Homo-oligomer: A and B are copies of this chain.
């Protein structure tokens, strides 16, 4: 279309401002060792990770935190996390966290897992850990695909979602139904705090970070199992352009895995 457009002035963004200013946010979380990573353009996982690290930092728990990491694309991010970590096998993080917590009851224990890791391979682990009321926080980065191995459907892929092996969208009759893991865990006796965030926009990221803080606080109060699920973009696995990732995430996944707090203080809610 012909018309008028604004050629705007480009400001210097290579250097810190010359004028008096205070830094409101730095490139990385204070708990990040580096900023470079090999994850795809537009991936939601680094965004979620930062929210998590910021929450740990805010609560002043950096020196008493142990993270247990699953196997997925996010595993590559462990090299940048300045927290004590244990690398688990695919699916097994909740049990490792259980063992570590029992030996270090004063530490904050969180897992970092993907949907393939947690809801496919390790579904049993997270459910038992929750039902046992284990005082740890499990974190799920849910993109509805096995990102790392090429973008196939997982057990959280919603009906209609595109993945490498559901290019026409997941079909319930042929591929079965997604598991809404957050809701499922919220329904168990042992869970104290359950929330689902999304990093599809800045407000979502900010809320997600709050959920992390609340979950960690709940754990530090010894209330039992807490859980934070984060919907993250995987433009590569979904075969959508990176810039369409957030919209796709919110519309397609967010309409089924509905965001918000699901359980607070052991009481079910929907906000």
Using CB atoms and an 8 Å cutoff, list the residues of chain A in contact with chain B.
120, 122-124, 127-128, 131-134, 155, 172-173, 175-179, 183-184, 187-190
Contacts and interface: CB of A to CB of B under 8 A. Distances in A.
Given A124-B123, A133-B172, A189 B184 contact: no
B189 A187 contact: no
Given A123-B123, A124-B123, A124-B124, A155 B176 contact: no
A138 to B, nearest CB: 15
Contacts of A122: 124
B179 A127 contact: yes
B131 A177 contact: yes
B187 A132 contact: no
Most chain B CB atoms below 10 A, which of A120, A177, A189: A177
A120 B179 CA distance: 19
Contacts of A131: 155, 176-179
Given A123-B123, A172-B133, A177 B189 contact: yes
A175 B224 CA distance: 12
Closest 10 CB pairs of A and B: A177-B189, A132-B176, A124-B124, A123-B124, A177-B190, A133-B176, A131-B179, A131-B177, A176-B190, A131-B176
A140 to B, nearest CB: 15
6 contacts: A122-B124, A127-B179, A128-B155, A131-B155, A172-B189, A176-B189
Contact of A187 (B123, B128, B187): B187
A179 B131 CA distance: 7
Given A123-B123, A124-B127, A132-B177, 16 more contacts: A120-B128, A122-B124, A123-B124, A127-B127, A127-B179, A131-B155, A131-B178, A131-B179, A133-B173, A133-B176, A133-B177, A134-B176, A172-B189, A183-B187, A184-B184, A187-B187
A173 B134 CA distance: 10
A122 B124 CA distance: 8
A142 to B, nearest CB: 15
A132 B187 CA distance: 20
A173 B176 CA distance: 36
A90 to B, nearest CB: 13
Contacts of A184: 184, 187
Contacts of A132: 175-177
